[in-house]
Structures are given as C-alpha cells and as structure tokens.
Amino acid sequence: MERYLLTITVFLPLLGGLIILLIPKGRDELMKWVAAAAAGLAFLVSLWLLGPFEMGSAGMQLQERYLWIPGIGINYHLGVDGLSLPLLIMTALLSLLSVVYSWRIEMRLKEYLFLFLLLETGTLGVFVALDFFLFFVFWEITLVPMYLLIGIWGGPRREYAAIKFFLYTLVGSLAMLLAIMLLYFNAEPRTFGILELIQQQPLARVPALAALAFWGFFLSFAIKVPMWPFHTWLPDAHVEAPTAGSVILAAVLLKMGTYGFVRISLPMLPETFKLFAFPIAILALIGIIYGALVAMAQTDLKKLVAYSSVNHMGYVMLGVSAAAAAVGVPEKAHAATIALNGAVFEMIAHGIITGALFLIVGVIYDYRAHTRGVAEFGGLGARLPLYTGVTMMAMLASLGLPGLMGFVAEFLIFVGSFGVFPELTALAVTGVIFSAAMFLWTIQRIFLGPLNPKWAELPDLDRREVISLAPLAALMLAFGVYPRPLLDMINVAMTSLVAVLR
Amino acid sequence: MPIPIEDLWSLVPEFWLAALGLLLVLLDLFLPGDRKRLVGWAAVVGLLLVLMPILGMLGTPARTVFFNTYAVDGFAVFFKIIAVVATILVILSTMDALRGHTSFEGEMYVLLTFAALGVCLMAASADLILLALSIEFVSLSSYVMAGYFKSDLRSNEAGIKYFLFGAASSAVMIYGFSILYGLTGETNLYAIADRVRTAPQPALVLAVGMALAGLGFKVSMVPFHQWTPDVYEGAPTPVAAFLAVASKAAGFAALVRFLMVAIEPGPVDWVAPIAGLSAVSMTLGNLLALPQRNIKRMLAYSSISHAGFLLMGVAAHRGDFGAPGLLIYLLAYTFTNLGAFFVAIAVGGRLGSDEIPSYAGLAQRSAGLAAVMALFMLSLTGIPPTGGFLGKFYIFGAAVNNGLLWLAVVAVINSVVALYYYVNVIRVMYLLPAPSGGSASGPVPLRLALGVAALGTLVIGIFPQPFVTLVGAAAMLLRM
C-alpha cells in the first residue's frame, strides 16, 4: 500500500470524477458527496504520507517508478521531498475546502464537479512528477478544466478571461516543451527523468543552448507565477472565475510556476540562472511594488486580492532569484538557504491566506451582497462579527502581521535576500508598507464606519462557510506562531538543494 | 521472366482488396434498393478480414517484389493498416450520411474499397511508374466520390475542382518523374538512389520540385492546397474525412519514400525547402482557419496546417524522433481527424447545418457527442493526454534534434494560434446556451465509428508504447 500512496493521492480525485460521470442526472446530493469523499480521501491520504515520510532525509522519498514509454526513455516516476510534500498537502486541503464551498452550485453540477476533480488530479500530479513527460502532461491537464470552470461558471466577461488564460499558459508550456527537448537531446544517456537530468547537467558546457532552455522554462513559469510583465491574464482570470476556481487558481496554479523555478530552473540550469538572476530580481521587485500599488487603487475586492497575489509572488521570486545569484558563492550559501526557505514558506502561506481571501470574497459576493465594490460596504463589523474576524485575520496575515503565517515567510525572504541583493531588498520592503496600507484601508472601508443600511439584514457565516474557512484560519495562526514543523521540512530540502548548487 | 510464387503471397492484401471491390460491385448489382446497406457491411467485414494478412506481415524482413517495383516492408504495412482502418471507419460513418442525397449508396462503398487499395499501392510503390499509376488510381476514385451528390451544385463543384487541380498537378509530377528518368536512366527508386549522386544538379532540382507538386497536392501542402476547403465543404462529409486522412497519409507515404529512398543520397538539399514549406503551410492554414464558420472548411484549413506539421517531421527525419514521429503523428491524426468529421456528420445529419454556431449548447443536448468532439479538438491542438499531443511531442523533439529550432518555434506559435479556433468549437459547445432543438446522436454504425476514433485518440496518448514500437519498426525498415 505504502508503495502506491502517491499514485493513490493523485488519482483518487479523478476516480471520483469518473464515478460522478456515471451518476444519473438529478442525483445532485449523491454527486456532491462523491466529490467530497474523493477530495476528502485524497486529503487524508496526503496526510498519511507524513507517516512514512522521513523528515530528516533530503532525497526524494516514497518514489514510484515504472516504465511508461521505454522506447524513448519515459518513466512514470513520482516522488516527494520537503519542497513538494507541503505543496501537495496544501493542494489537497484547498481542493477539499473548495468542494465544500461549492455545495450550493446548481448549474451543470455534474460537469462542474468532474472538471474540478480533474483539475485537482492535474495539480497534485505536477507537484510529485519526476519525469518531464509526466510533469508536462499534468501541467497541461490543468488547463482545460480551468478554462471551462472560468468559461461556464464565471462572471460576465468569462469567455474573454478564460481564453486569455488558456492562450497565455499554452505559450509558456510549449516554450517549456522545447526547453525539455533541448535537455533531452543533449543528455547522455538520453532521459526525461528530472533527477537524472539534474545530475547530468547536460547543458553545462553549451551556454548558448543553456540560455535558450532557461528562457523556455522561464517563459512558462513566469507566466504561471505570474511575474510582471506576464501577469495581465491574472486579474481577468481571477475576477471572472467562480469562487472555488479563483481559490485553486491563486492558491495552487500560481505555485506551479514558483515550484517550477525551484524544482527545475534552479538545480537544472544553476549557472544560467545565476547569470540572469539580477534582471529577474528586478522583475520580481517591480511585481512587488506594482502589485501593491495597483491593488491599492482597486475598488473591486477580487481584483484587489488578485493584484496582492502579484505582489506576494514577487516576494517568492525575489527569494528564488537571490538564491540563484548566490550559486557558486559558498559564503552566501547560508543567505541563499534562508531566502529559499522563505520563498517556499511563502508559497504555502500565500496559498492558505489567498485561498481564504478568495473564499471570503465569495461569501459576500456569491450569496449575500452580490457586489464586490469595496466602497459600497461600510460598518459590516458590527453586523457580521464572525465574518469580520476571519477577514481581518486573513488580511492581516497577508500584510505580514507578526504572529501570522505571512510574516514568517516575508521575514525569511527579506533576511535571506538581503545577504545577496541588499539594495533590491531594501526597496522590496517598501512593498510591505504599500500592502499594509492597502489592506488596512480595505478593512476600514468594509468593516468600520457607519453601517450601510442596504446591508442591515445580511446573515453571518453559515455552517458550510465556517467549515471551509476555519481550517485555513487555524493554519494561519498555527504556523504563524509555531512555523517550525513546516519550516524544518522545507529546510532539509532547501539545504540540500543549496549544497548541490555550491 | 517468371514471377516467383512468394512474390504473389506478399500481395495477398492487395489481391484481397481488389477481389473485395469487384465482389461488392456484383453484390450491389443484385441487391434491391432498400438493402444497399448490406454492401457496406460486406465491405466492413472484408476489410476487417484483410487486416489479418496485413498484420501478419509485421516483423517480416523488408524486401521488394515484382522486379523491385513493389516494397514489402514495415513502412508499407503501417500505411496499409492506416488505410484499411480509416476506410472501415469511413464506411461505417457513410451508412447514414448518404440517405436523402443520392440513391446510389452501394457504389460509394465500392469506390471507398478501391480507394483503399490505391492507398495501399501508393504506400508500397518503389517504382516511379507504379507510383504515378497508384496516385492516379486513388485520385480517380476520389474525384468521383467528391462529386457524388449529382444534384448538389457544391458537390459538383468539389468534384470538378478536385479533378482539375488533381489532373494538373499529376501532369506536372509525371513530367518531373520523366526528367528524373532521363537523368538517371532508372524508374526504380532504389536504382535511382544509386545513380542520383552523379545527376546534374539544376535539372535534378527541377525534377524534384515538379514531383513535389503532385505529392504536395495530395497532402494539401501550400502552395498546392487551394482545392482543399472547397472540396471538403462540397464533398459528402465521409468523403472529406477520407480525403483528409487516408488520401493525405498515402501522399505522405509516397513523399517520404520518394525523398528518403531516391533523393536523399543525391546532392539536392531538400530539407531546407521542405522546412520552409512546412512553416508556410502551418502558418497559412492556421491563419485562414481562424475566421471560418463552417466546420468542414475549418477542418480543411486545419488539415493544411497539419500538413505543415507533418512536413516538419519529414524535414527533421533523422534520429529516433524524426521518421517515427511523422508516423505516430499520422496515426494519431487519423483517429482524431476522422472523429472530428464523424461528429460533423452526426451534427450535420440531425441539424442540417455544418455551421459552427449551430453547435451551440451541444454539451447540454448531447453530452457524449460534445465530449468526444472536445477530445478531438484538444487532440488536434496537441493537449495531453491525447494522441495529438504525442505526435506533437515527437515532431517538436525531432525538430530540436535536427537543429531546426527555428521551425520548432514557428510550430509553437502556430500551435497557440490553432488553440484559438479549436477551442472556439469547445466554447460554442460548452459555453454558449443551447437553442431549442432535440438531441443530436447518430445512428449505431456512426456511433461505433466515433467510439473507435475516440478510443484510438485516447489510447495513443495514454498507452503509447505499442504504437511507438510499431512506428519504430516501420521507420527502421525504411532506412535500409
């Protein structure tokens, strides 16, 4: 059983989705329960992974490896380490909570649940695939369900947002495919295995090809992250997507990009990454400042959260590029490790916090006020105490209040990258001020001041909403106060990564 | 010189097909008008049976028979499989599509069977004369099929247009063949290969270029593609499916054998022009596919663009990804594109329209049909886990491996452009509301054909190893 745990985690949602397809129309309750069971079981199995997972060991664990297309050296190869396991568990958790949140979806329920579970299988697979072919297949499988989720259940401009998302991501993926091919054909023996290629460093002696491959991966990951200036699909997609779609998009799909940078770009092409680390750090810095400033100017809550994602993913990329710039410089290895720890911690933190924020926006928009205009609220604090509490907690966590999860992440990133890029980091810290201003101002406009009489009758959170929000709030606080278990796990993986780079 | 008896044994599939065609003519003659469907079923059974001797030839050593004019190798066997499978599926899809348009149902099955024979001959011809004859054989059957609906002006136009274009390009090709014969004194491809090194350059370039005209016409390569949209739109949809898949595959078989066997040893650099034509074909086909509203015209331009992708495989033929990639792309394309045309038949038969907007809300009217159409569109785009993705994966790899990175980049850009119009079909089916109107599911034979096409598309994408082995063997034998 233990040998197949990863496969089970990844494919349980798909299995649930296929079962749902067989359920006759009209049995809505049954379909929802099957979906919840599939997502719930996947989450439980992902937690179960923590048992056999050895915290102290740095290599890939729980590996599964079978021949898939032996004719051209493609294997079905899965495995987890301290980088991917937290992301895997986070993905399973957020998918489960999103299914719970989606309980009230009525329109074309069968298709919705099937696509959602297919999306979950794709995202889980990306984080555990250790063969480029398999990685690419999972990477691309996420596109179609997300396209349809936005396109069918989205807001007024859904068609535009959906196709824009699809086109942008496909450009990147195909560039990545060419980069993969460059690695494959220069390897000896030829292989699509990610670990084998990292060991071989096939392009180390051909800097021109290495640069081409690097930019191929970069385009793909940077669009997904999204880094400035590749971010323009993000506000559209986030705003138009249905709530659960926004949650997965922000919490999981964006992480696929940063995960790619850490898992692939950094160890696969370290010298090349080092060469371009500074310009990439500049892009990250622009993303930080730009994201925060544009978020401040938004009156649409969803857009505001979307741009705050650009800001936060900028922090992650600052940490990653700082680590890249430290490649080959032993005295900066310590700083690089801290920066990477922060970056990976921020991936999890941003997933949990922004996932919660999008659910929070959904709560007020989908079933209550049907508006997301920040300016149209006011004084909700007295009317909706529970909702206000959760929202303030998530927003404060997002702006980096000590004691909550976001602070730990940002602190580590700044400490780490200060050792490499002191000037850039100093500028990046101003982003924190802007995002603090933005979130505090938002809290003020929505929850403080006189109550807008229009909203006098709004009900507070119901049970289903509490179930989907409470775990996230608890995690924000728990890892904010005591980040050590998570950080230990990440640290082992990042330390060994930096050691390899040195 | 007597013909050795073993030579005859290796021609069992061809004899079988010819006999089957003649038998169907007789059967059609004696069956009453309302039972012509039986001719179709007889054809399906006969074609299924012929698969046995064809599959039996897998793995036998490559050789040529009939005084070296006819190749019996894995490459030919591969294309025979494609021809027979595609023809079976097309016949299944035809069974309902002709009703109401024409009373000559039986003849269509006969023509399709003969066309399948022609495709087999094209794939195996190792002699310029036999090649020219078999191309004409396929063409003549196709001209009649394209203009099959006598009372339909568009179908007439399709038939005449296809005939005129086809005749002209055949003439140019045969002229090219004759120059090649004049230069080398041989008509046999393997014999030409020995002599082509010493052939004078400019005349050889002219000969190859002219030969490309005829073969390029068959595969809808730019600039010999103009017939494609009009013929696909006007011809009966099953015939368009046959032209888009079997006829194109045969064209590629002949093109590849001609270039790689006869011309490759010579001094002519054919890779660069083929790469150029590949880039032009995929780009032009894609750009013209974008504004199409008619599904058959869209598929026609998409077929031009896919010809470009396949030519990329021809240009990047060296290495483990080149020729095998071309074959696996063709195999995946066979199932996928047939499937797309079959959905067009099903929808066209029920709604009486081939316009893409009339697919609105198909997902709610007939979920199964919409789902398989979505699968086919994604496979044509090259999204995993479909066969189309595996084909693209191979062909991109081949381009990178052969140093044609620029072509790979052009192909990437084209794939993104193509996504737009393929996903447009998905958008119309899934995102737009359904107008009133009943469900559109096809008759049983059509659904069977659709099921096989969908299964093929998925299986090639998910369990590709058997197909990888198959094309590996087919491409290996070609090189000797």
Among B389, B396, B465, the residue with its CB nearest the CB of A181 is B396
| C-alpha distance from residue B410 to each of A373, A461, B415 (Å) | 44, 52, 9
Nearest-neighbour CA in chain A from B343: distance (Å): 20
Q: Does A147 touch chain B (CB under 8 A)?
A: yes
Residues in chain A: 502
Cβ–Cβ contact B389 with A under 8 A: yes
Question: With 50 as the cut, is the pLDDT of residue A445 above it?
Answer: yes
Residues of B in Cβ contact (< 8 Å) with A178: 396, 400, 405, 408-409, 412
- Residue A49, phi then psi, degrees to nearest 5: -55, -30
Within 8 A of A143 by CB-CB distance, chain B residues are 383
Per-residue pLDDT tens for A378-432?
888 888 888 899 999 999 999 989 999 999 999 999 999 999 999 999 999 998 9
Evaluate whether residue B61 is within a structural domain: no
Nearest CB partner across the interface for A166, out of B397, B405, B423: B423
Question: Does A133 contact B320 at a Cβ distance shorter than 8 Å?
Answer: no
Whether residue B430 lies inside any domain: the answer is yes
Is pTM beyond 0.90 here? yes
Q: Are B305 and B286 in contact (CB under 8 A)?
A: yes
| CB atoms inside a 10 Å sphere around CB A487 | 22
Q: Is the pLDDT of residue B475 over 90?
A: no
Closest Cα in chain B to A181: B397
In angstroms, the CA B305 to CA B311 distance is: 10
Question: What pLDDT is stored for residue B353 in this prediction?
Answer: 85
A contact residues 55-94, partner B, Cβ 8 Å cutoff: 68-72
Structural domains of chain B, count: 1
Q: Which domain range does residue A456 map to?
A: 276-502
Report the alpha-carbon angle A486-A124-B383, nearest 5: 150
Residue with tokens 């023996």: A189
In chain A, what residues touch B468 (CB-CB under 8 Å)?
69, 71-72
Model confidence band, residue B366 (pLDDT cutoffs 50, 70, 90): confident
User: What is each CA distance from A417 to A269, A412, A421, A464, B81, in whole angstroms?
Assistant: 20, 8, 6, 41, 60
Q: Percent of chain B, pLDDT > 70?
A: 98
Distance CA B471, CA B326 (A): 9
- A175 at B interface, C-beta within 8 A: yes
Single-letter code of the amino acid located at B92: L
- B367 alpha carbon, distance to own chain's centre: 29
Examine residue A358 and state whether it is found in any structural domain, yes or no.
Answer: yes
Query: β-strand B63-65 against A74-80: which pairing, if any?
Result: unpaired
Q: Is residue B230, in this structure, part of any structural domain at all?
A: no
Percent of chain A with pLDDT over 70: 100
Q: Do B430 and A152 touch (CB under 8 A)?
A: yes
User: What is the number of domains present in chain A?
Assistant: 1
Rounded to the nearest 10 degrees, how much is the dihedral formed by the CA atoms of A328, A330, A334, A336?
-10
Position A372 in a domain: yes
CA distance A320 to A317: 5
In the predicted model, what is the mean pLDDT of chain B?
90
In a domain, B284, yes or no: yes
Number of C-beta neighbours around residue A3 at 10 A: 10
Task: Look at residue B337 and tell me whether its pLDDT is greater than 90.
Answer: yes
A169-173 own/partner pairs: CB under 8 Å, 24+ apart: A169/A143, A169/A223, A169/A224, A169/A233, A170/A143, A170/B415, A170/B416, A170/B419, A171/A219, A171/A223, A171/B412, A171/B416, A172/A219, A172/A220, A172/A221, A172/A222, A172/A223, A172/A224, A173/A136, A173/A139, A173/A140, A173/A143, A173/A220
In a domain, A328, yes or no: yes
> Which pLDDT value is given to residue B266?
85
* B199: in domain: no
A12 falls in which pLDDT band (50, 70, 90)? Answer: very high
Give domain status of residue B406, yes or no. yes
The closest CB to that of A177, out of B396, B405, B465, belongs to B396
Residue A178 touches partner B, C-beta closer than 8 Å: yes
Q: Of A219-233, A259-273, B410-424, B466-480, which range is least confident?
A: B466-480
Range B218-222 average pLDDT: 90
Closest in B396, B401, B464 to A69, CB measured: B464
8 Å CB contact between B427 and B356: no
Q: State which residues form the domain around B439.
A: 271-480
Joined together, the tokens standing for residue B463 give: 């369990």
pLDDT one-digit tens code per residue, B383-435: 999 999 999 999 999 999 998 999 999 999 999 999 999 999 999 999 988 87
Residues from chain B contacting residue A171 (CB–CB below 8 Å) = 412, 416
Q: Please report the pLDDT score of residue B480 as a whole number.
A: 47
Q: Please, what is the Cα angle at A496 between A491 and A502, to 5 degrees?
A: 125
The model's pLDDT over B150-205, given as tens digits with 9 standing for 90+, comes to 888 889 999 999 999 999 999 999 999 999 999 999 999 989 988 888 888 889 99
Structure tokens at A397: 């966590």
- Indicate whether A307 belongs to any domain: yes
Measured between alpha carbons, how far is A5 from A86 in angstroms, rounded to an integer? 15
pLDDT tens-digit map of A313-370: 999 999 999 999 998 888 888 999 999 999 999 999 999 999 999 999 988 888 887 8
Q: Please list, in sequence order, all residues whose beta carbon lies within 8 angstroms of the beta carbon of residue B102, skipping any fewer than 6 positions away.
A: B148, B149, B150, B151
Any B CB within 8 A of A171 CB: yes
Is there a contact between B430 and A148 if contact means CB atoms under 8 Å apart? yes
Residue A290 maps to a domain: yes
Closest CA–CA distance from residue B374 to any residue of chain A (Å): 10
CA-derived radius of gyration, chain B: 21
Q: Contact A72/B465, CB-based, under 8 Å?
A: no
Interface test with A, best of B282, B312, B392, B393 (most A CBs within 10 A): B393
Q: Domain for residue A234, yes or no?
A: no
B419 within some domain: yes
Interface of B with A in 17-46 (CB under 8 A): none
